[in-house]
Amino acid sequence: MRIAVLALQGAFIEHEEMLRKLGVETFEIRQGDDWQQQKDGLVIPGGESTTQLKLLKDLRLLEPIREAIERGLPVFGTCAGLILLAKKVIDEDFDRISTMDITVCRNAYGRQTGSFYTEAPVKQIDKKIPMTFIRAPYIQSVEGKTEVLATVDRHIVAAREGNQLVTAFHPELNDDLSMHRFFIEQLCKGKTK
Ligand code: GLN
């Protein structure tokens, strides 16, 4: 099992550490050529989605990543990663990776004071998990086959559509490995792309 971690900006090292604790090999995508390596999944970290989008375009990674996800490559996007994967972002009418049938509200909790911690149950994991939100988005609605996995204060904060998993919070910033384990076991195992 080898997982690519998009390492252009944001909290990618923390994801690598979580995956290593699960015995999973990781490598970083920093430039176009890195994408050629064999991989069983991709993690898109939190950070700043506008910066990540610009770098993805500059490095000509946007199209190859979109195509790989459309062909079934498992992907886990957290926070900014969730925004990059959304087909619709409220009041922002431009393309990102845009592969997942969700409508997202960016900076939904406010820009400065919108960081908080809570614990909430996640469907299919069947327990409460720690959730750290940092200038987070939430999912306003899911479309198509997308399944809601978690809500906080009636806002959707985790969802899955087939090979795509997203959280509005940062599971890599707490000790609980459940979300990463779920990604590896439910989305990546049995796939070799
Ligand atoms: N507010 C950021 C954005 O819009 C996301 C924040 C995060 O990833 N922690 O890209």
HSE (side-chain half, CA atoms, 13 Å) at 188: 21
ipTM of the complex: 0.95
- CB burial of residue 105 (10 Å; 0-12, 13-18, 19+): buried
Is 79 a known active-site residue? Answer: yes
Buried b (16+ CB within 10 A) or exposed e, 170-191: bbbbbebbbbbbbbbeebbeee
Nearest CA to ligand 1 atom 5: 80
Q: Taking residues 36-58, what's their average pLDDT?
A: 98
Q: Taking residues 41-55, what's their average pLDDT?
A: 98
Judge whether 49 is annotated as a binding position.
Answer: yes
Catalytic one of 79, 105, 161, 180? 79
Q: One-letter amino acid identity for 2?
A: R
pLDDT, one tens digit per residue, over 86-117 is: 999 999 989 999 999 999 999 888 766 678 99
**Residue 126 confidence class, pLDDT cut points 50, 70, 90:** confident
Q: What is the mean pLDDT of the chain?
A: 95
Residue listed under structure tokens 């490995």? 177
Judge whether 48 is annotated as a binding position.
Answer: yes
Q: Find out whether 5 and 78 touch, Cβ atoms under 8 Å.
A: no
Residue 83 C-alpha to ligand 1 middle, in angstroms? 8
pLDDT, one tens digit per residue, over 150-181 is: 999 999 999 999 999 999 999 999 999 999 99
Q: Please state the pTM of the whole predicted model.
A: 0.96
Residue 138 C-alpha to ligand 1 middle, in angstroms? 11
- Using the predicted structure, report yes or no on whether residue 193 has a pLDDT greater than 80: no
d(CA 148, CA 123): 8
The pLDDT value given to residue 111: 67
